[in-house]
Chains A and B, each alone.
Chain A
Amino acid sequence: MGIPATVWEIVESGRLSNGWLHRFNSLDREKISHAIEVVGLKDRAKDSINTLSGGQYQRVLIARALASEPDLLFLDEPTAGVDLATQIVFAEALSHFVSGGTTIVLVSHDLGPLRSLVTRVILFREGRIEFDGSPEAEAVDRHIFHDHPHGAPPRSNEGLL
């Protein structure tokens, strides 16, 4: 167990991207408060992160990223090992990023609740692009639901981008 820190204190770190020495003002507090609300942890803002579940902590980190208002967000398997409730909250949080103009590049083997946010899919197989187009395309379903070998050797670079 590390030094206790509240949800609010962790999310505050997100605002450092607006200048790591700047004095926090009401705008910063507004963004932090909004980010915590979006991930559904408003009533836990003053609680120590040591009391949160793994999924809730993941949400805190999402709120931290949200508070920093990034232009571009790279996510590598963000929903791997995360419970469905958190995946749904996560998808909602990402939709806030998207509507705020953030570009998201997401690597995933299983889109789940994130699926409705995806506007372009690139499928990789054996290190080559197999498909590049709309998430509605039949090839995407085939890849995800029917033809997706797990436990492939790392060099095969299989994935969904």
Chain B
Amino acid sequence: MNSVAVFEFLQPPFMQRALLAALVVGLCAPLVGIFLVQRRLSLMGDGLGHIALTGVALGFLLQTNPIATAVVIASIGSIVVELIRAYGRTSGDLALAVLFYGGIAGGVLLIGLSSKKSNVNLLSYLFGSLTTVSSFDLALIIGLAAVIFTVTFTLRRALFSLCHDAEYAQVSGVPVKALSMVLAVLTAVTVTISMRVVGLLLVSALMIIPVASAQQLSRSFSSTRRIASLIGIAGALAGVIISFYVDLAPGALIVILIIGVFIVNIGIAAILRKRNPLRA
């Protein structure tokens, strides 16, 4: 087998775009996910994914790029969610449910209004459709991923403090409410750039599961973050490459692969703990 055959999957331009999108999303999703896990908001991404669907449908209806409209709608949704979380009392939980399911229902209705062919389109956003990523989509995904990377890196200590001990962060002068809002919007942006890769229904998996895997093997927050991103990248790339040879949905493949890594890591961590109880 020569090298051309080995890297056959790199030949078609749609695969190059798919791999590049998978790479940046695999890198960035855990960078935001780690703060959500720490704040016990693991399902936030899932909820915002529901809201993003309305944005996607709006994109179809207005005949503009659905990723762009989804970013806007999901960001607005994330701000509303955060306001409900911050100021809502006992009904906060219910309000979130209303918002999340309203997002899905709104999306389905708007798509119904736009055209007849779009049920196929809807599915491609719900479950991912990497091979149809256009150059414009890719540019948007890379640009937004760069924003996520820069913001999570610059604010890492403040976000860590917020998520570890919000009361202490407030006493230290960290603008807790504003930063929570930033985290919510980052989540919304991550959800929208990830939806082409794994689909809106699986988007939370790519943010959360690599983090859950990484924390089995690391002692520090910073190493958890690095390992989670590596797992995210490896899982996303492997999923895309395998789907090139075997006709399977790359999004679902990616999620199954990272769940596999999670289970293996739990096993390794249990063995390490037996040998040395001082390890976390």
* A interface residues (Cβ-Cβ under 8 A, vs B): 1-6, 8-10, 12-14, 16-17, 19-21, 24, 46-48, 50-51, 64, 68
Contacts and interface: CB of A to CB of B under 8 A. Distances in A.
B229 interface: no
A51 B279 contact: yes
A159 B184 CA distance: 43
B21 to A, nearest CB: 27
Given A3-B215, A16-B161, A9 B175 contact: no
A24 B222 CA distance: 15
Contacts of B221: 3-6, 9
B174 interface: yes
Nearest to A8: B220
A51 B279 CA distance: 7
B218 A13 contact: no
A12 B219 contact: no
Nearest to A14: B172
A5 B34 CA distance: 12
B93 interface: no
Contact of B172 (A2, A10, A68): A68
Contact of B157 (A1, A24, A48, A64): A24
Query: Which residue, A1, A20, A24, has most C-beta atoms of chain B within 10 A?
Result: A20
Given A4-B219, A48-B219, A51-B279, A16 B173 contact: yes
Interface of B: 34, 37-38, 154-155, 157-158, 160-161, 164-165, 168-169, 171-175, 211, 215, 218-222, 224, 278-280
Given A3-B37, A12-B157, A16-B173, 20 more contacts: A2-B164, A3-B221, A3-B224, A4-B215, A5-B221, A6-B219, A9-B160, A12-B160, A13-B160, A13-B165, A14-B172, A16-B157, A16-B161, A20-B158, A20-B161, A21-B155, A46-B219, A50-B280, A64-B168, A68-B172
B266 to A, nearest CB: 12
A5 B278 contact: no
Contacts of B169: 13, 16
Task: Give 5 closest A-B pairs by Cβ, nearest first.
Answer: A48-B280, A13-B161, A48-B219, A17-B172, A50-B280
Consensus secondary structure, chain B interface: helix
B149 to A, nearest CB: 17
Contacts of A13: 157, 160-161, 164-165, 168-169, 172
B13 to A, nearest CB: 39
A67 to B, nearest CB: 10
Nearest to A9: B221
A85 B219 CA distance: 26
A24 B161 CA distance: 14
Query: Which residue, B157, B224, B278, has most C-beta atoms of chain A within 10 A?
Result: B157
Given A3-B215, A5-B164, A20-B172, A51 B38 contact: no
A12 B168 CA distance: 12
Contacts of B165: 13
Nearest to A64: B168
A2 to B, nearest CB: 6
Query: Which residue, B171, B221, B224, has most C-beta atoms of chain A within 10 A?
Result: B221
Contact of A4 (B158, B171, B220): B220
A47 B160 contact: no
A28 B38 CA distance: 25
Contacts of B219: 4, 6, 46-48
Nearest to A21: B158
18 contacts: A2-B37, A3-B224, A4-B215, A4-B224, A5-B164, A5-B220, A6-B221, A9-B221, A10-B164, A13-B160, A16-B157, A16-B161, A20-B157, A47-B280, A48-B219, A48-B280, A64-B168, A68-B172
